[in-house]
Amino acid sequence: SDINQRYLDWLNPIFLSLVEDGALESLSETTVVGMRRIPGIKIENRRLMAVVQSLPHFCNVPAGFTTQSLREQAVQTHLLQKEHTLSQVRYDLGKLRAKGLIEKVPGQHRYRLTCVGLNTRALLTKLRSNFFGPLLSLTRQSRPDNTFDNTS
């Protein structure tokens, strides 16, 4: 019963993050905006995911957030290196904006998280922390030399 409840607690945010079918695949694909080709969002990119995970901290700020405030939040919360530059954050924000996860506040240098962005962020965070993270850690574990025996 305890195990079932923990599993349901784990699944609940995924169900709450109602993301359209095919949306995850489209996130990783290149987006063309005007004449610019903007790379997709890769869930394995630690820096980008730190930015994505920092976005909800600004949901209660009606005016939106600045690149600098997002950078400070990502560095502080996710222990990124101080070398995480504003240019890198702007690059990451360009990816998020091209996918419709954030929007620019008209006439200002501020951004807001969209509803789609909030739902997608919840899903990406859950997948990265509870699915891809453990899988990646398994692949990094050392194996004995005789793991692959070709004598059969």
Do residues 55 and 121 lie in contact, with contact meaning Cβ atoms separated by under 8 Å?
yes
Please state, rounded to an integer, the average pLDDT across all residues of the chain.
79
In sequence order, the β-bridge partners of residue 53 are none
Return the pLDDT at 19. 57
The closest alpha carbon to 57, from 71, 45, 46, belongs to 71
pLDDT tens-digit map of 58-87: 888 888 999 999 998 888 887 666 677 889
What is the rounded radius of gyration, in angstroms, for the C-alpha atoms of the chain? Answer: 18
pLDDT tens-digit map of 16-47: 555 566 667 788 889 999 999 999 988 788 88
Q: Tell me the pLDDT band of 108, cut-offs 50, 70 and 90.
A: very high
Q: Tell me the pLDDT band of 96, cut-offs 50, 70 and 90.
A: very high
Can you give the length of the chain in residues? 152
